[in-house]
Amino acid sequence: MNKIARLISRFILGLSFIGSFSAMAQTKVPEGKWRAVFHLTNGTDVPFNFEVDGKTAATRKIYLLNGDERFETSALTQKGDSLFVPFDQFDNELAFAIGYNKLTGTFRKKDHSGRTIPVDAVFGQSFRFDDSGEKPSADISGTYDIDFKSNSGKEEKAVGLFKQKGNKLYATFMRITGDSRYLEGIVKGNQFFLSSFIGGGPAYYSGTFDASGQLTGTSGGSQFTGVKNAGAALPDPYKLTYLKDGYTSFDFSLPDVNGNKVSLKDDKYKGKVVIVTITGTWCPNCIDEAAFLAPWYKKNKNRGVAAIGVHFERKADTEYVKNAIENFKKRYGIEYDEVFGGLADKKAVAESFPSLNAFLSFPTIIFIDKKGNVAKIYTGFTGPATGVYYQQFIKEFNEEVDSLLKI
């Protein structure tokens, strides 16, 4: 081989090496902070943040970042230059093509049915909303009376909790069905923007405020207004759901994931205080409830306390229900019994439990005394994003159980 041929051969080999190196680089998802953006069909861009943790594909995890929360996704799958980020409890996934420090793809159902949302992500960006440098015209921290009104005219009361630090904004909205969990955003002039994402779908709120502090905004198909009120409150969650006249007890006979029937009349529950939660693996507030109840039960189970989770799921298929509930139990370390009640439909739940005056929310917690009588029913869930309200719930929960154990 002459000198020119050898040079050509080395050049081709070098190009091959560079190409191989580039291909490898594009299939590696670097550790650290990422900023992603959903591109909705109405032209709205909804940002969220996540962190990749783990040096190898086998150990790599993704945590969704919202306010003070790091929410772990399900186990990742990578095939060549494709990355799949599943959210098992919601039957959703992010499907990405891996580029150099960039991910491009869609948010979709795991079975590929229904709508898809384009989404892309960039490595090394930790901000959420673009900061134009415009300073907030005021600090809107505080508690608000909120009125939501949907495009169909349906109205709903809420309590807004806002905490502003400089131009950063953190918030949640409490409703009788539960709170909107951790919202994070920014204040620019007299405008504010908030978003959140844990796998069920993007949440997005935007609005303005005036010199008096009154809020006006939109979220999805709803408009809302808000007035600052330190005493803003919702109806008592212990008085929304109750037993109809003539009923004192609450019972059922439902299968666990192995088909074994479970009833409150079973010997294992006799003489115990029993916590029954009507729940679902797909429900964000139920996730917060399980994160509270699972460790609480481990700590208190030897005090004469029992608990049962009655699940209403999106599908009734036996294999689907078994996988959904077992994954839920594993994720949150649940040791109490869990049974399947039926499809996730409030009307169906009400029909399944005719002793209840109504069924308003997943979750709903039923406190049963040692004689088998219903003591209290708590509608919805006030989660950790609500701060002092969550601490108040825990205090009341423990006080109720303590009082029932003494009877």
For the chain, the domains span 25-123, 142-228, 253-406
CATH homologous superfamily, domain 253-406: Glutaredoxin (3.40.30.10)
Give, to the nearest 10 degrees, the angle between helix 284-300 and helix 388-406. 40
Topology (CATH) of 25-123: Lipocalin (2.40.128)
Rounded-to-integer distance, Cα 174 and Cα 197, Å = 17
- Say if CB 130 and CB 122 are below 8 A apart: no
**Cα 371 to Cα 17, 232, 270, 271, 367, distances in angstroms:** 75, 37, 8, 6, 12
Q: What residues contact residue 190 under an 8 Å CB cut-off, 6+ apart?
A: 137, 138, 208, 209, 210
To which H or E segment does residue 294 belong? Answer: helix 284-300
Residue 26 burial (CB count, 10 A): 16
Nearest to 400 by CA among 275, 290, 270: 275
The CATH number of 142-228, from 2.40.128.120, 3.20.20.70, 3.30.379.10, 3.40.50.300, is 2.40.128.120
Per-residue confidence (pLDDT) for residue 39, from 0 to 100: 98
CB 112 within 8 A of CB 120: no
Kindly report each contact of residues 139-144 with a partner whose C-beta sits within 8 Å and lies 24 or more positions away, as own/partner.
139/164, 140/164, 140/169, 140/187, 140/192, 140/209, 140/213, 140/215, 142/213, 142/228, 142/230, 143/228, 143/229, 143/230, 143/231, 143/232, 144/215, 144/226, 144/227, 144/228, 144/229, 144/232
The pLDDT value recorded for residue 16 is: 44
Query: 142-228: same fold as 25-123?
Result: yes
Q: What is the pLDDT of residue 4?
A: 54
pLDDT, averaged per 10 consecutive residues of the chain (407 residues), comes to: 51 42 61 97 97 83 96 93 95 96 97 95 97 94 97 95 98 98 98 98 97 94 96 98 94 95 96 98 98 98 98 96 96 97 93 94 98 97 98 98 96
Show the tokens assigned to 338.
Answer: 């869990």
CA-closest candidate to residue 130, choices 184, 188, 182, 183? 188
pLDDT of 308 reads 98
